[in-house]
Structure formats: structure tokens, C-alpha cells
């Protein structure tokens, strides 16, 4: 059974807020390393794709079970990709951990909204 969907404009704002919050976290120490920039760029690209997938699911006002699974699978891929980018240098530094942790929290909150 599907669930009622929220307004696509509301989703756009929420997704932009996620990106802004993550960027603020990244610049807290005043430095964005090349690894952090790569991570932020990938998150931004993936969140745009997620937004497109979500807006397509919202077209009829109901997110079906299949659409919910596709969205959930994409969120998992997004997180896995962020982790893999952070591990590229065989070390996930504190800032990268905080970015990924924040991304997880924001996606969980967004998913429940």
C-alpha cells in the first residue's frame, strides 16, 4: 500500500535545506579539503537525482510501494557512495564523518517528514 505524498515544492525546499546544512557543516573548520569537495559535489549530484526520482513519484499524489522501494534503494546508494568517496584515501577524517553522519540524520528526518 502506498502513502500520501507531499508537495513537490516543499520537497525541493527540504532537499535544498539538506544541501545547505551539509555545506555549513563542511565549512565549520574554515577548510574544505579536496576529499570534502569531492564528497560535497557527489552529494549534490545525487540529491538532484533523488529530487527528480521523488518528483516523478509525486506526480500522481501517492507514493506507491514500488516507488518507495526505489527511493529507499537510491538513499542507500547515496550513502554508500558518500562513504566510498570518503574512504578513497583509506582514511575518513572527522569532517568527512560528520558530513556523512549529518547526511544520514537529515535523510532519516526527511524520510519521516
What confidence tens digit (pLDDT) does each residue in 13-69 have? 877 888 888 888 888 888 888 888 999 999 999 988 988 888 898 888 888 999 999
Q: Per-residue pLDDT for 75 more than 50?
A: yes
Q: Per-residue pLDDT for 2 more than 80?
A: no
The pLDDT of residue 112: 60
Hunting for cell 528526518 — which residue is that?
109
| Range of the structural domain that residue 101 is part of | 3-112
Task: Count up the domains in the chain and report the number.
Answer: 1
The pLDDT of residue 1: 47
Ranges of beta strands (E only) in 1-113 are 3-4, 62-63
The pLDDT of residue 111: 63
Distances (CA, A) of 72 to 2, 79, 87: 14, 11, 23
Q: Name every residue whose Cβ is closer than 8 Å to that of residue 33 and which is 6 or more positions away in sequence.
A: 93, 95
| Coil, strand or helix at 47 | helix
What confidence tens digit (pLDDT) does each residue in 83-107 have? 999 998 898 988 899 999 988 888 7
The pLDDT of residue 7: 62
Amino acid at each position: 500500500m502506498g502513502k500520501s505524498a507531499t508537495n513537490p515544492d516543499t520537497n525541493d525546499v527540504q532537499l535544498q535545506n539538506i544541501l545547505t546544512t551539509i555545506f555549513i557543516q563542511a565549512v565549520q573548520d574554515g577548510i574544505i579539503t579536496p576529499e570534502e569537495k569531492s564528497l560535497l559535489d557527489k552529494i549534490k549530484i545525487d540529491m538532484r537525482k533523488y529530487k527528480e526520482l521523488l518528483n516523478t513519484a509525486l506526480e500522481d499524489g501517492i507514493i506507491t510501494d514500488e516507488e518507495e522501494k526505489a527511493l529507499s534503494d537510491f538513499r542507500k546508494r547515496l550513502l554508500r557512495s558518500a562513504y566510498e568517496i570518503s574512504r578513497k584515501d583509506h582514511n575518513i577524517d572527522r569532517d568527512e564523518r560528520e558530513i556523512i553522519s549529518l547526511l544520514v540524520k537529515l535523510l532519516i528526518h526527511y524520510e519521516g517528514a
